[in-house]
Amino acid sequence: MLPLSAANLPEFERRIHAVRPDSARRWGSLEPAAMLNHLMYAVKLSLEEVNEKYIGNFATRHIVRRIAFHTPLPWPKGLKTPPSFTQAPSVPIDEIRAQLLDKMKRFTETAAREPNRKTLHPMFGMLTLRYWQRVHGKHFNHHFTQFCV
């Protein structure tokens, strides 16, 4: 699993460009544009551009997080996601893609400059931007696999 870092950004960009409006999904209900919008929301969250209420607990912070991000196990398919994370985009997929690529670039630059800056993840608590790189890497890969890219 590659972290979302400046060094790995070209690979993430390549895979994002491979997501087409008619890309077939292997599971779930998100359409390709909604999936890209979902990834952008997660990046915005890590940059504190959107806020979510903390709904985690000891188990999500210390057990689930370790299983999700420190093992090679794939994420389960069809996890419940808060509605704010799955809003359908109001613009075409190419515009969502461009916005996501811009946010990813901003995130990688910020993470390189401030790797120990902490921001809130609604399930896992306060995470450094260095750790968010790992979170985004596994999360993005999960959805790339969902859409066979």
Task: Summarize pLDDT for 62-86 with one digit per residue, the tens.
Answer: 999 999 999 988 888 877 777 777 7
Range of the domain at 31: 9-146
Q: What is the 3-state secondary structure (H, E, C) of the chain?
A: CCCCCCCCHHHHHHHHHHCCCCCCCCCCCCCHHHHHHHHHHHHHHHCCCCCCCCCCCHHHHHHHHHHHHHCCCCCCCCCCCCHHHHCCCCCCHHHHHHHHHHHHHHHHHHHHHCCCCEEEECCCEEEEHHHHHHHHHHHHHHHHHHCCC
The answer to the question of residue 4 being in a domain is: no
pLDDT of residue 52: 94
The answer to the question of residue 76 being in a domain is: yes
The answer to the question of residue 85 being in a domain is: yes
- Pairing verdict, β 125-128 and 118-121: antiparallel
- Predicted structure pTM score: 0.94
The answer to the question of residue 1 being in a domain is: no
Q: Does 42 score more than 90 pLDDT?
A: yes
Question: If you average pLDDT over every residue of the chain, what do you get?
Answer: 94
In terms of Cα–Cα distance, which of 149, 136, 143 is closest to 9? 136
Q: Using one digit for the tens of pLDDT, what is the confidence trace for 78-135?
A: 777 777 777 888 899 999 999 999 999 999 999 999 999 999 999 999 999 999 999 9
The answer to the question of residue 2 being in a domain is: no
Location of structure tokens 């779930």: 28
The answer to the question of residue 68 being in a domain is: yes
pLDDT of residue 64: 93
Which two tokens mark 79? 């996890």
The answer to the question of residue 3 being in a domain is: no
The number of distinct structural domains making up the chain is 1
Do residues 54 and 125 lie in contact, with contact meaning Cβ atoms separated by under 8 Å? yes
What percentage of the chain carries pLDDT values higher than 90?
85
The answer to the question of residue 58 being in a domain is: yes
CATH code for position 91: 1.20.120
